[in-house]
Amino acid sequence: MSKAREFIDFWIENSVHAVEQYRTPGASQDVAELTERLVEAAKEQDISEAELRAEMSDISEHIGERLRAANRAERERRTPT
């Protein structure tokens, strides 16, 4: 696994979260903001945006998919069975 892929997986696991119940302040739901934060954090680890794109061609799309999955899982978790 490449350094970029490891970083992407770690960052997303720790930075992309479902919206909090009742819309209380918390996890960002803005894909553009999250994308920018990922790229900036990667730069701090000497990982270029080109290296990120080599691992996932569309960073925003990937983050958006993970965000939707996190929100879906949270909705299902809160739904009474």
- 40-71 pLDDT per residue, tens: 999 999 999 999 999 988 999 999 999 999 88
Which two structure tokens, joined as six digits, stand for 12?
């997303």
Residue 28 binned pLDDT confidence (cut-offs 50, 70, 90):
confident
pTM, whole model, 2 decimals? 0.80
Which residues make Cβ contacts (< 8 Å) with residue 20, sequence separation at least 6? 26, 27
How far apart, in whole angstroms, are the C-alpha atoms of residue 16 and residue 9? 10
Query: Is the distance from CB of 65 to CB of 8 less than 8 angstroms?
Result: no
Residue 67: is it exposed, middle or buried by C-beta count within 10 angstroms (0-12/13-18/19+)?
buried
The predicted pLDDT at position 74 comes to 83
Mean pLDDT, rounded, for 25-39: 84
